[in-house]
Each structure stands twice: as C-alpha cells, then as structure tokens.
Amino acid sequence: MSKTLLILLGPTGVGKTDLSVEIAKYYQTEIISCDSRQMYKEMKIGTAVPDPQTLKAIPHHFIGSHSIHDYYNASKFEIEVIEKLQFLFKDKDVVLMTGGSMMYIDAICKGIDDLPEVDSELRISLTERYKSEGIESLRNELRYYDPEYYKIVDLKNPKRIIHALEICIMTGSPYSKFRTNQLKKRPFNIIKIGLNLEREVLYYRINQRVENMFEAGVEKEAFDLYQFRHLNSLNTVGYRELFDYFDGKTKIEEAKEKIKANSRKYARKQLTWFRHDIEISWFTPEMKNEIIAYINRQLRDDNL
C-alpha cells in the first residue's frame, strides 16, 4: 500500500483538534501539528494547545517541541517533518497532519526553497533598525541589493523585507537568486481536507475560545513572556495585544476585544489563502463519517 499524508486544515477555532483525534483513532495513526506557534513550549494557553488528555489519547508531534528562543521557520519545519514522516511511514500507511499555518502546510506539500541559515544578530539588528528608522529605510536598502525582488515584494510587510535583506546581506547575493519556486515531488500521496463553518458560527467559536483563554490564565502566561516580547515567536495574536496592555497602551477589556477581532481577521486570511488551493475538499467539522468515507475512496483510488 502506498503511503499517504492526510492534511486536516482550516481557520483558527473551527474545530480541527477534536476531529483530528477521531480521524487519527480511526486510522490508528499519529498526528503532526502544523501550527507555527503551538510548537513553542512556553506558549500553551495563548495558542490553544490541546489539553493533556487529548495529547495523551493520540501521539502528537511538533507540540511543545521547541522554545521561543529557537530560530525557526517554514524551511526548518519542512526538513524536520519530512524526516519525521520517513520514520512514521515505516509502521504507518497513513499519517495525519493538522493545523492552519498556511506557509507550513505549503512547505510540506510543495517544498520551500533551500535558504541559508540566518545569523540571529543580523535579524536583531535589522529589526531594531525597522523600529528606529521605519520601513522606508529598509525598502531602499532592499531596492539596492535586490531590485528584482523589490518589484514584487509586499512593501508594507516588514517581515518579508527584513527576511530578504537578511539573505542579501549575509550571502552577498540577491534574495531572488535563491527563490526557485520549484515544486518538490514527495514520495507519498497527499489528501487535503478543509474544515469551515458559517461565518457567524465560526466567529462565535473564536470569541468563545478567547474567553476560555482568559479563564485559563493567558494574561499571566503573557506577562511571564513579556520580557521576551521582541522575539519573532511572540509576534502573534493574543500576545501582541496583551503586551500593549502591559505597556499601558490599552485596558484589559480592550486588549481582549482586540484579540477577538484580530483572531477573526486571521481566520479570514487563512480562508482566503486556502480557497486558492483546488486540491482541498471542504466539509464542516460534524461531518466525520462523510470525511472518512471520502478519505477511504481516495485511498482506494490511489492504490488501484
């Protein structure tokens, strides 16, 4: 039987966690988390890490596996997950990956260009320049080093500009030289299942999740991480808003409402990204039986 990676994806708060456990139990397999923040062991509450009982029910990988102090990106995720899959496929015909981090999912399905390791001091230096000089200074430097990439990059996105500059400065070559965008062929089949809900229902679930986070102590968790707020790993919804509260920029209720609003905004961004992928078959979370029937048909067709 050929090996198959099932991917259960969808917007934040849609219900991927519970369904992924049910599907993993059905196929007697393990789960690879594809959440770019749940992998950080210091960020449990604010990233809605599954509870200990859920993690115990099915072996999970890439949850609490790294530290916020580790330099990490989609390229590293690709390398580590492909290595993990090689190990899991020795005993499993099917492995389940679940999450909503768009770039990380694409890294496994399509591959990421092999980019050189970036020096952490250089990243810190460029980030500090962005804070003190603004984005225009970095834009001009990128235009000097790599006019080709400058023409296509989102000039309002400081992360992408900084990342491109890192590669340019460190290697002495344009960032565009490393961007091949070549699709990597995987030695396993891929089946993508998307979950979605009516917008009102999804927004209610997102809002309730934020309320649950506050009840679970996300404010204290964020305060304990406040001293590390400059780290890229903490530049995420749920922590940014609380850091502003600790800085005295907002009140706690305002911070909570901003977390809800930004979480809903992120869900819309996820759905926009996923809807461009024609390989995704869409369901609602309660359609477990239909999803499994669909997967079984795909598995059967792939092995004819």
What's the pLDDT tens digit per position in 52-76? 999 999 999 999 999 999 878 888 8
CATH 1.10.20.140 range(s) for the chain read: 120-178
Residue 162 DSSP symbol: H
CA dihedral for 288, 293, 297, 303, sign (positive or negative): positive
Residues facing 281 on adjacent strands: 193
Residue type for position 198: E
The predicted model scores a pTM of 0.83
Calculate mean pLDDT across residues 240-245.
96
Residue type for position 298: Q
Calculate mean pLDDT across residues 11-25.
96
Calculate mean pLDDT across residues 16-32.
97
Count of other CB atoms within 10 angstroms of residue 53: 8
CATH 3.40.50.300 range(s) for the chain read: 4-113+183-302
Q: Say what percent of the chain tops pLDDT 70.
A: 98
Instruction: Please check the confidence at residue 181 and state whether its pLDDT lies above 70.
Output: no
- Residues with Cβ within 8 Å of 196's Cβ and at least 6 positions away in sequence, in order, are 10, 11, 14, 202, 271, 282, 283, 284
- Cβ-in-10-Å burial (0-12, 13-18, 19+) of 161 comes to buried
Q: What CATH architecture does domain 120-178 belong to? A: Orthogonal Bundle (1.10)
Q: What CATH architecture does domain 4-113+183-302 belong to? A: 3-Layer(aba) Sandwich (3.40)
Q: How confident is the model at residue 12 (pLDDT cuts 50, 70, 90)?
A: very high
pLDDT of 246:
97
Q: How confident is the model at residue 294 (pLDDT cuts 50, 70, 90)?
A: very high
CA triplet 15, 13, 6: central angle to 5 degrees? Answer: 45
Q: Dihedral, CA atoms, 187, 76, 196, 260, nearest 10 degrees? A: 180
> What burial letters (b/e) apply to 75-106, b meaning 16+ CB within 10 Å?
bebbebbbebbeebbeebebbbbbbbbbebbe
Three-state DSSP class for residue 82: helix
Q: Are 110 and 120 in contact (CB under 8 A)?
A: no
| Pair of tokens at residue 168 | 């340019």
pLDDT of 38:
95
Helix ranges restricted to H, 9-119: 16-26, 52-57, 74-88, 102-109
Q: Say what percent of the chain tops pLDDT 90.
A: 76
Task: For residue range 86-123, list pLDDT tens digits in order.
Answer: 999 999 999 999 999 998 999 999 887 767 777 777 88
Instruction: Please check the confidence at residue 303 and state whether its pLDDT lies above 80.
Output: no
Comparison of pLDDT for 232 and 201, the residue scoring more: 201
Instruction: Please check the confidence at residue 143 and state whether its pLDDT lies above 80.
Output: yes
